[in-house]
Structure formats: structure tokens, C-alpha cells
A and B are shown apart, each in its own frame.
Chain A
Amino acid sequence: MPTYNLYMGCSVPANYPNYEAATLKVAEALGMELIYMEGVGCCGSPNLRAIDYFGWLLVNARTLAIGEKTGHDIVTPCNGCFGSLKDVLYHLKHDEEDMKKVNQELEKFGLELKGTVRVRHVIEAMYTDIGIEEIEKKVTRPLDGVRIAIHYGCHLLRPADVTEVTPDIFDELLRVTGATVVEYPLWKQCCGATVLPVNEPLAVRLARDKLKSIKDAGAEFIMVVCPACGNQLDLQQFGIKDTYGEEYNLPVLFYPQILALAMGMSEDDVGLSMNRVPADPILDHLTG
């Protein structure tokens, strides 16, 4: 059974325990052993990178070193954590001087980072290590071809030399549940979450444009793999109603929620009632 270091971050457990629960349940069903990392904290987010580059390197290098010690890959369900860990690892592997400086500090925690650890999005690990064929065998209650649009999230895909992830694997993973993947013009566009602290109207506008593009393309649901993107696209629909007078009614689901339902798990198993825009209409699309 493949074993992983599970880096949960702070946003998923605090804001989207339904994403956390669905991820754990799906991973168990697929035969992946996810072990919560011991003694780790927050990644600091891009905000920390913006004001305190060295502090950001250090906190993430510490997490990487803790993971490296176990010999298992680090997996996370959050694009923000994923981006931070990938970026820091990439930088330190390309900058001997900073690697040395960071290791001097890590020594205080009895840790050392060599740079051999791998960081992955937990859903990419499902695709690569378990495989579509195995996942398909577990789908007992497929969706009826319902039209779902994927918002991948910026820090999952870019910069590609750092993240080493391509979007097509998420398309395949969604298709295997029986859903239809809806293409839409703004698929690459940011959800706007990162600009919330400094320009909220701009953040709302970005979410609105994204939702409009998805709705116009005929999607009925949105799939996400990041708590920040999920929050922005789900919760912001209420703000958009106030600001733009537009109602999108697009339920936002985390991928493991969709897969779990298609595997026959219940709506309570995946905490469907916690999704802000009521997501239970997805239940009507399950067959068998």
C-alpha cells in the first residue's frame, strides 16, 4: 500500500472539513495510506512570501525536512500549500547558498533538508499512483453525464516548471466518475482569492467573470481542488448577487466529494450540507 505524508495545511481543516473527510475516505477506498505529518504548521501562504521571503523559505523547508525524514512523498489537498512547498523546494534545489543558510537554521530543530523529498497534490497522487483503471473499478454509482466545469487553480498549474502538473489528469479523473467535462473560455483565469485582502471589489469581479464563463458554457456544477478557490467561487456567489444582481446557482464541489459519491458513499460521508451553494442536486445525477 503506498504511504504518504499528509500535509493538511490550515484552511482545509478550519474551513472545509468536508474536503478533508472526503479525501481521507476516498484515499482509504483506493488503498492509499495518508499519515498526518507530525509537528508541522502553516505554509504561510503567498502573503508570507510577499513580505518575508526568508521566513517563508524557513517554515516550508522545515515541513519539507520533516517529510523527507520519513522517506515518503508529501501530499496536500490545498493548492496554496502545494504552491508554497513546491516553490520553496524548487528554489532551494537551485540555490546552494540559500540551502546552506536554511539548513543552518533547521539544525536548531534537529533537522536537515537534502532536497530529495517529493511534494504532490493528493489528487495527482491518486491519478499517478493508483491509476484511472483502478479508480474506475471502484465507481459503482456513476454520474449520468452531468456537465461539470473544472477550476484547476493557478498554483496547481503554474509556474509549470515548478508545479510539474498538467490539467488533463484532472479531466480524466472527473470523466471516470461519469461526468462530462465542460470546456469554458476562462478556464485558466484566477478565481481572485489572492487579491481579496487589498482589493475586494476586484476579487469579486474576477470570481463573477469566472462564474459567468462557466455558466454560459452550460455547466451545472464546478469542481475544485483547493479550499481558497472553493471558498472564492462558492461563497462569493452571494456577494455577486448583491453587487451585480446576478444569480449563478452553481454548486462548487471538491473532487473527492464527487468521486466518493460515485463510489457509493453517502452525502453525509462527504459533508455535502457544508457546501454553501446547496450542492445536493448532484445526488439527482447518480445512477444505479
Chain B
Amino acid sequence: MTETDEKAGPPVTLVEPIDMSKLNRDFRREIQSMPDGDELSACFACSTCTAACPIANQWKYKPHQLIRMILLGMREEVLTSREIWECLTCFQCQERCPQNVRVTDILFDCKNLAAEEGHVPENILGLAKELLEKGQLYVVTADWEREDLDLEPEVPGLSTDEFKSILKGTRTGRLVGGDQ
């Protein structure tokens, strides 16, 4: 072997060591107490979820890493991540998990925790506002199109008042109902 002039630099650190003092040990129990967290600790980090995810290559934190981070207690990183909001909710990860971890459902739980602490993307808040004010995501505007098809111009049976009154009293109302 010939010696080279330049010495190789130090090996690239793949992952910065985790600062143990910043871990929140209760995070895993918090998620486990939520609707879909029962099987969380069964994760053995095989990363099948990541292999199944159509957009994992776009993400800094892959699905299996997010589950690991929950187990480790990296609460802030998970709840402020953009990944939880970009999840397509296509359930491919959850469907293929050999340990029956409800990965997609758990990301929904994370979004709820994030929402409780005010970390919600602006466009999602906009949709929440629409839901609260109009009682539905889409409102019929082109009723002539409906009539052309022999449909009632207004959707039969539709009532939005109960929907609005329910959401006024839940987290949606707290998040976007301030000016009402």
C-alpha cells in the first residue's frame, strides 16, 4: 500500500449521540395511554414500516425512527417534526408491521399531542377554521350542476349546526374558535 500525503479525516459521525438528560421518559407512557398505543413497545426496530412508506426518503426522521424516538423519549423532536404532518395516512406501514404496532394511528396520536401544544401547520389550522365555521370541508356552490343531473340543489338531509356546536366545545374550538 502506498502512503498518501493526506491523512484521512476522522470518520463521519452518522448520528449525534443522544443527550440523555433531554429525554422525556414519560413520553412512551403518554403515547401508550392514547387510543392506539397499546402495541408501541412491541417495536423491534426492523424498519419494515420505513420500507413500506412511499415518502420516507423525503424525511429526516423515518417512520421506524419516529417510533424509536417515542420509545426513547425524544418528545420535543417528534412533536415539532414536519414528518408527523406529512404522513399520508396511507396505512402501508401499519399494515405491514410484523409486531402489529399501529404506526399510522400513533402518528395521529402524536399530531393530537402537538395540536394540544399549538404546533399545527397553518394550512391545517385553516381547514379546521373552515370546518368550525361552515360545518363541512366542501360546500355546494354550483347547484345548477346538481339540477342538471336530476339531483336536489341542496344535499338532502344535510345539517351542519350540530357538527359546529360539537367542535366548538372540543379542541378545534380552542384552536381556531377564538374570535367567535
Contact = CB atoms under 8 A, between A and B. Distances in A.
Interface of A: 8, 10-11, 13-15, 17-18, 20-21, 24, 36-42, 44-55, 58-59, 62, 91, 95, 98, 105, 109, 154-155, 158-160, 188-190, 192, 194-195, 197-199, 202, 206, 271, 274
Contacts of A58: 166, 170
Given A190-B90, A195-B86, A198-B123, A49 B108 contact: yes
A270 to B, nearest CB: 8
B138 A48 contact: no
Given A17-B151, A158-B92, A38 B111 contact: no
6 contacts: A39-B157, A44-B167, A105-B166, A190-B92, A194-B89, A195-B55
A52 B115 contact: yes
A45 B112 contact: no
A55 B86 CA distance: 21
Interface of B: 35, 54-55, 58, 82, 85-86, 88-92, 94-95, 102, 104-105, 108-109, 111-112, 115, 120-121, 123-124, 126-128, 131, 135-141, 145-146, 148-151, 155-160, 162-163, 166-167, 170-172, 175
A52 B171 CA distance: 5
Given A46-B89, A192-B88, 9 more contacts: A10-B138, A14-B141, A41-B159, A45-B127, A47-B127, A52-B170, A155-B89, A159-B102, A271-B145
Given A11-B137, A62-B162, A55 B85 contact: no
A17 B148 CA distance: 10
A194 B105 CA distance: 15
Given A154-B90, A202-B86, A41 B160 contact: yes
A91 B166 CA distance: 19
Contact of A48 (B91, B128, B139, B149): B128
Contacts of A40: 157-159
B58 A47 contact: no
A21 B158 CA distance: 17
Kindly name the residue among A15, A45, A53, A91 whose own CB sees the greatest number of chain B CB atoms within 10 A: A53
A95 B128 contact: no
Given A21-B149, A58-B166, A159-B104, A51 B137 contact: no
B161 to A, nearest CB: 8
Contacts of B148: 271
A259 B123 CA distance: 37
Contacts of B157: 36-40
Contact of B120 (A14, A51, A95, A271): A51
Given A51-B120, A95-B35, A198-B86, A39 B159 contact: yes
B150 A197 contact: no
A158 B90 contact: yes
Contacts of A158: 90-92, 94-95
B167 A59 contact: yes
Contact of B163 (A24, A36, A42, A274): A42
Contacts of B85: 50, 198
A8 B105 CA distance: 25
Given A51-B111, A194-B88, A13 B172 contact: no
Given A14-B141, A194-B88, A197-B121, A51 B156 contact: no
A55 B159 contact: no
B139 A17 contact: no
Contact of A51 (B128, B140, B163): B128
A152 to B, nearest CB: 11
Contacts of A10: 136-139
Nearest to A37: B157
A59 B150 contact: no
